[in-house]
């Protein structure tokens, strides 16, 4: 993952956890993260689709956690934002006429899968509550 979606989502979720049910606006969260509010709303849209948050429209609206922070582990968040492979892109197409090239993506993907498993295992050992509690 080269973009900062994981960090943004985790930041959003940490803010919401610490708000203890209070609604936070995308503008407020964008100010804390230091990014554009529209990006926050896009991430919220994704987090909503994954059942982590809910939002209330209209004046005095905002977002809040829709499940307990103890029930969200960091692997869940990773899965929700993940798009590429961990170690790089597979978009490259090696030469199919080369005996190594034509098999490379298969072996690379196998490798990516096993490393991703290791990553997920590590991430799943921590919940959002654990993470949030490290803040003063």
Partner DNA sequence: CATACTGTAATTAAAATTATTACAGTACAA
Partner DNA sequence: TTGTACTGTAATAATTTTAATTACAGTATG
Using CB under 7 A as the criterion, which residues of the chain lie in contact with DNA when the complex forms? Answer: 2-5, 25-27, 35-39, 41-42, 44-45, 48, 55-63, 84, 89, 91
Nearest-angstrom CA–CA distance, 130 and 10: 12
Helix extents (H) in 1-136:
5-18, 26-33, 37-49, 74-81, 101-123, 128-133
63 makes contact with a second copy (CB under 8 A)? no
The half-sphere exposure of 46 on its side-chain side, counting CA atoms within 13 A, is: 20
Q: Tell me the closest approach of the beta carbon of residue 55 to a second copy, in angstroms.
A: 19
Number of residues written out for the chain = 136
Q: Under the rule (CB under 8 A), what is the footprint of a second copy?
A: 1-7, 10-11, 14-15, 18, 31-35, 74, 78, 84, 86-90, 92-95, 98-101, 103-104, 107-108, 110-111, 114-115, 117-119, 121-123, 126, 131, 134-136
């Amino acid at each position: 993952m080269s973009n900062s979606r994981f960090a943004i989502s985790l930041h959003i979720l940490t803010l919401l956890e610490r708000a203890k049910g209070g609604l936070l606006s995308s503008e407020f969260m964008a100010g804390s993260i230091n990014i554009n509010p529209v990006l926050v709303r896009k991430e919220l849209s994704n987090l909503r689709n994954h059942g982590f948050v809910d939002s209330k429209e209209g004046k005095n609206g905002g977002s809040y956690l829709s499940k307990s922070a103890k029930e969200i582990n960091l692997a869940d968040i990773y899965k929700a934002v993940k798009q590429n492979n961990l170690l790089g892109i597979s978009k490259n197409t090696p030469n199919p006429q080369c005996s190594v090239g034509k098999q490379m993506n298969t072996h690379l993907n196998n490798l990516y899968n096993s490393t991703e498993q290791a990553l997920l295992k590590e991430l799943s050992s921590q919940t959002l509550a654990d993470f949030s509690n490290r803040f003063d």
